[in-house]
Structure 1
Amino acid sequence: MEFPETLSAERRELIENAATQLQSEYGEGFLGMVLSGSAGRGLETERSDLDVLVVVSPELVDRPLTRNTELELLPVTLQHLEKLAVFGDDQWGYRWSYAWAPTLLDKTGGRIAQAVERQTRLSPEETLELLQQRLDAWINLTYRSLKSSRDGNLLAARMDAAEAISPFLDVVFALDGQVRPYSKYLTWSLQHHPLPSWPTDDLLETVEQYLAGNPEAIRQSLRRVQSYELPMVRETFAEWSAEQYDALRTP
């Protein structure tokens, strides 16, 4: 088994003991293990759960696993890991739970590791689908924030700017072909897997400025995204004409 360096010896032993028991109970139906949650990213605390995805053959996925108060074993099939939820599906929220999660044991010749890695990547088709749903939503919320800021309603400006952060990050990560991380893991993800098109410190500062409702920082983010050479981006911004939506561009 391969463990991340950040995992304690005690937790490694728990997982190794569980693997031995699973091998005994499921035999060839036990295909591998993936470390999820905070422990999988080196962010666990004393209160963090130890979540391990147990990859099993389909006929075993509904069989109850032995429970351990210190270790949460979550059965999944390889086919489930290899199936990609699309944006808007009820399973979409799980995409990032697999992203960058270390594979501890892979008895499938690498299919588990490949499936986990693929969950965090967006294909060009997936990127376009997400942008179709989130780019316009982000611009709309940003426009509302900037209008309120211009009109002196600073509370509304900050509230709309805060609401805009979610579609903003969806868009920014999608433009670099990645699924947006959960908020809890945003800093970790950017530090360990930085976006090619947006320096980590700059992006984190932009999020901070959104929360403060800073109109100039918000406009800078608009200009930055608008500069991407992608037809979908150009077409969406073209619909927000300068004459009708001047608040997007000027104080």
Structure 2
Amino acid sequence: MKFPETLSPERREPIETAAAQLQSEYGEGFLGMVLSGSAGRGLETERSDLDVLVVVSPELVDRPLTRNTELELLPVTLLHLETLSTFGDDQWGYRWSYAWAPTLLDKTDGRIQQAVERQTRLSPEESLSLLEHRLDAWINLAYRSLKSARDGNSLAARMDAVEAMSPFLDVVFALDGQVRPYSKYLTWSLHHHPLPSWPTDVLLETIEQYLAGNPDAIRQSLRRVQRSELPLVQETFDDWSAEQYDALRHD
């Protein structure tokens, strides 16, 4: 077993015990383990469960596994790990649960590790698909927020800016080929796996300013994304009229 350094010996012990039991009961059907959740990223608290993905052969995946107050074993097949959900799928919301999750045990000659790493990244095709869904949605919400700020409706401006946060982050991470992290792990992800296109401190401050409905921060984020050389980005911005650009760019 290979544990992350952040996991204490006391928390490793129940995982090692479970692995021994699984090996005894499942034999060759027990393929490996991946540590997900807060513990897999060094963020666990005294109230955190140990969420362990147990990779098993298909005929064993529906067999119930042990759960106690500190260890939750979640059975998955190797095919499940190697199957990529796309934006809009029912499983898309779970995809980041695999991101940067350490593989504790891999009896498949590296296939488990490779599958976890592949879940973390968006291919160029996946990024493009997500941007097709989210880029214009973000620009539209930013436009509404800026119009409300211009007209003196600060409440509406802040509400639309907050609503714009979700597609904004989807766009930012997709442009750098990453799955957007859950809010709980956003700061951790940016500090440990920073985005090439956005300095971490700049992006975190931009998020804070979005939550305050700051028009200048919204305009700066629009300009920054518009500098992308991706044709889809240019085409999407070009679809906005000159009059609309006035609201996006000026007070």
Corresponding position of 1:105: 105
CA distance in 1, matches of 2:9, 2:154: 51
Mapping of residues 86-165 of structure 1, within 5 Å = 86-165=86-165
Return the letter of the residue paired with 1:58: P
Deviations 1:190-230 (A, max 9, x none): 00000011100000000000001110111000000000001
Deviation of the 1:68 alpha carbon:
2.7
- Alpha-carbon distance in 2 for matches of 1:117, 1:126: 15
Letter in 2 for 1:63: R
For residue 181 of structure 1, what is the aligned residue in structure 2?
181
In structure 2, what is the Cα distance between the partners aligned to 1:40 and 1:85? 21
Q: Give the aligned partner of residue 75 of structure 1.
A: 75
Asked if structure 2 preserves the Cα contact closer than 8 Å seen for 1:145 and 1:160, the reply is yes
Between the aligned partners of 1:242 and 1:7, the Cα distance in structure 2 is 55
Q: Contact 1:242 / 1:249 at 8 angstroms: preserved in 2?
A: no
Shift of 1:242: 2.1
| SS, match of residue 210 in structure 1 | helix
**Unmatched segments (≥5 aa) in structure 1:** none
The one-letter code sitting in structure 2 at the alignment partner of 1:61 is V
**Structure 1 SS opposite 2:242:** coil
Deviations 1:162-195 (A, max 9, x none): 1111100000000000000000000000000000
The alignment covers a number of residue pairs equal to: 251
Alpha-carbon offset, residue 245 of structure 1 = 3.9
RMSD value, Cα? 0.7
Any stretches of 5+ residues in structure 2 without a counterpart? Answer: none
Secondary structure at the counterpart of residue 113 of structure 1: helix
Alignment of 1:1-16 (within 5 A): 1-16=1-16
Could you list the runs of 4 or more consecutive aligned residues of structure 1 that deviate by over 3 angstroms after TM superposition?
none
Q: Does 2:249 correspond to 1:249?
A: yes
Corresponding letter in the other structure for 1:77: T
Q: Is the 8 Å Cα contact of residues 66 and 72 (structure 2) preserved in structure 1? A: no
Counterpart in the other structure of 1:38: 38
CA–CA distance in structure 1, aligned partners of residues 167 and 67 of structure 2: 38
Report how far residue 241 of structure 1 moved. Answer: 1.9
Q: Is contact 1:30–1:55 with CA below 8 Å preserved after alignment? A: yes
Normalised TM-score (structure 2): 0.99
Give TM-score scaled by structure 1 length: 0.99
The Cα shift of 1:49 comes to: 1.2
Counterpart residue identity of residue 169, structure 2: L
Q: Distance in 1 between matches of 2:175 and 2:76?
A: 30
Does the 8 Å contact 1:31/1:57 carry over to 2?
yes
Cα distance in 2, alignment partners of residues 168 and 72 from structure 1: 33
Residue identity matched to 2:215: P
Do 2:106 and 2:113's aligned partners in 1 also have CA atoms closer than 8 Å?
yes
Partner residue of 1:229? 229
Q: Which amino acid aligns with 1:55?
A: V
